[in-house]
Structure 1
């Protein structure tokens, strides 16, 4: 039985204006930021490019994996080969290259209200600046690359980015392909649907309904597994997948799907953009976001974990400050109190 958590609630903030801006910007943003293009349509965990392992081996590894959010290295602020390579970049290339989202409201998005330059902003973006400041001494020494959900892992494996900071859930399958930091946020999968809908949550009311998810997302793999296990109605239609999660909100607004399943933290931000939709029912999983890096980048993983320790402890400009600025207006009081519990570091090599 999955642990259940109180759903991320909503406050009366956002409005139709924000919704309209978001929908228009979703189309225009691609013109403003280089996008890492897909090199295939594997639509699964997004490994692609010959980097995957045999399905049987992956399945066995996943069965043996427990507490994936704890499978990371202990913090250390020492330099190493990965960090040395980043720091040795010269001129304009002396930047941290980070895969992010540019369409997730309050997480990673272009804010049209920040002086006209529409720079990337949000909770994830604050963390990226913090990492760049620590490693390169300049919070703005960052090259942002917008990547679709199903291209997060290939972008890391192919060396197109140094890391991904993009509301990325730590899970056992992904640990076969990339390394993760300790968790920096706790959330869970939830259902988003129109307020007028008779869908009540992750239950029998999804029978016969069209559900939208992002390709390569935890939501999609969870729904597919639950449907296979008989925990989700067999006639629930999972055929609608999109490159980026915001596209699901657009499909919902157009009446092309009946519901969206995604992380509650993202769903709450989407509901803030559109007052005609709401979260339905409680979260039906417990998940943790982490920073994803190459599997052999041990020094970088340890350094990011040290940065996270300091970010959490910084009362003036750290985790809580970013949460209050970006997320507190869209989340429940129950989710507002503190960051995830102090991490454990079970990986030794």
Structure 2
């Protein structure tokens, strides 16, 4: 993204090319436009306390994977194979996780690698035929509704596994640990979230995320919600907020795109992401968990993490507990 200075330069050059001088008139500075869907301040509802449901434990994998293209009759996987494509809800703007590569025009990233591995387990040509996956771009707030409406087979979009969400959808076993942190403009005096709270500053996170709930709980902080994390990033660049807050795996990609920003602060939380799957499709959950089990066993998952997210260090160990 171009920073705000580029816009000012364009306006200056346009003024220099004016055909006639006009009388000087004082005008108030126009505020930079905000992305659509922004709420400032955001209305945040905290989920009610719940008994521990062991949110990090998914359903036990199948004992062995069926051969690609030969799914059990009547299974959710057989329906996907019959359709001819796997429909996955994901992001297209999460650099390093799931983003549109400008050099190829294709989606790439850590989560896209996982999607392709699952497609390869379903279809004989899942590795080579790009038409075997239909990616659908969704917002953070869309993740659960599109599953409940049956519009996608699964969601791979850094979705935290928690008890409230388990009541609405099912999850695969966890594939990615992340820590919620802050992204600020480089050179600012912000080192912790409490620095922002003391000044009554603003922090942006996406609507429907666990991140917005956590920042709203910090005294003095004004939570701002947006449809997309890149919308928060734009507001940070325009000086409309003090920080962006989400998982460090997402912030890493934003900071790589704009070296004028940096990740700061101690982790506000540590959260495990799983693949979201519609309730009633436990057979698909068990199938996906067997795919993930194989990726953990042969090192593919760790190698993908190192390739895309290695700047964060070595990946934390993933849990292997199941709920049945």
The match for 1:263 is: 247
The match for 1:107 is: 97
Pairing 1:17-36 to 2, within 5 Å after superposition: 19-20=1-2
Distance 1:99 1:44 in 2: 24
The match for 1:49 is: none
Kindly indicate whether residue 56 of structure 2 is the aligned counterpart of residue 69 of structure 1: yes
In the superposition, the TM-score normalised over structure 1's length comes to 0.74
Kindly indicate whether residue 111 of structure 2 is the aligned counterpart of residue 121 of structure 1: no
The match for 1:12 is: none
Bigger radius of gyration, 1 or 2?
2
Cα distance, 1:20 vs structure 2: 4.2
The match for 2:304 is: 322
In the alignment, which of 214, 238, 254 is matched to residue 222 of structure 1? 214
Q: Which SS does the other structure have where 1:99 is aligned?
A: strand
Distance 2:53 2:167 in 1: 13
Distance 2:142 2:280 in 1: 19
In the superposition, the TM-score normalised over structure 2's length comes to 0.79
Cα distance, 1:205 vs structure 2: 3.6
Q: Which SS does the other structure have where 1:203 is aligned?
A: helix
The match for 2:158 is: 167
Pairing 1:242-321 to 2, within 5 Å after superposition: 242-315=226-299, 318-321=300-303
Cα distance, 1:268 vs structure 2: 1.6
- The runs of 5 or more residues in structure 2 that have no matched partner are 4-36, 67-71
Distance 1:294 1:86 in 2: 14
Kindly indicate whether residue 315 of structure 2 is the aligned counterpart of residue 344 of structure 1: no
Higher strand share: 2
The match for 2:69 is: none
Kindly indicate whether residue 80 of structure 2 is the aligned counterpart of residue 86 of structure 1: yes
Q: Aligned pair in 2 of structure 1 residues 97, 129: CA closer, same or farther (>3 Å)? A: same
Distance 2:116 2:98 in 1: 12
Could you report, residue by residue, the CA deviation over 1:97-124 in whole angstroms, capped at 9, with x for unpaired residues? 000100000100011133xxx1000000
Q: Which SS does the other structure have where 2:266 is aligned?
A: coil
Kindly indicate whether residue 170 of structure 2 is the aligned counterpart of residue 185 of structure 1: no
Distance 1:274 1:252 in 2: 11
Cα distance, 1:202 vs structure 2: 2.6
Distance 1:142 1:44 in 2: 35
Cα distance, 1:279 vs structure 2: 1.2
Cα distance, 1:339 vs structure 2: 5.1
Cα distance, 1:65 vs structure 2: 2.7
Q: Aligned pair in 2 of structure 1 residues 204, 339: CA closer, same or farther (>3 Å)? A: closer
Q: Relative contact order (C-alpha < 8 Å, sep 6+): which is higher?
A: 1
Q: Aligned pair in 2 of structure 1 residues 170, 43: CA closer, same or farther (>3 Å)? A: farther
Cα distance, 1:314 vs structure 2: 2.3
Could you report, residue by residue, the CA deviation over 1:41-89 in whole angstroms, capped at 9, with x for unpaired residues? x9879xxxxxxxxx9xx73xx511343112x100113646211211222
Aligned length, in residue pairs: 274
Contact 1:211 1:237 in 2 (8 A): yes
Structure 1 vs Structure 2 CA RMSD:
2.3
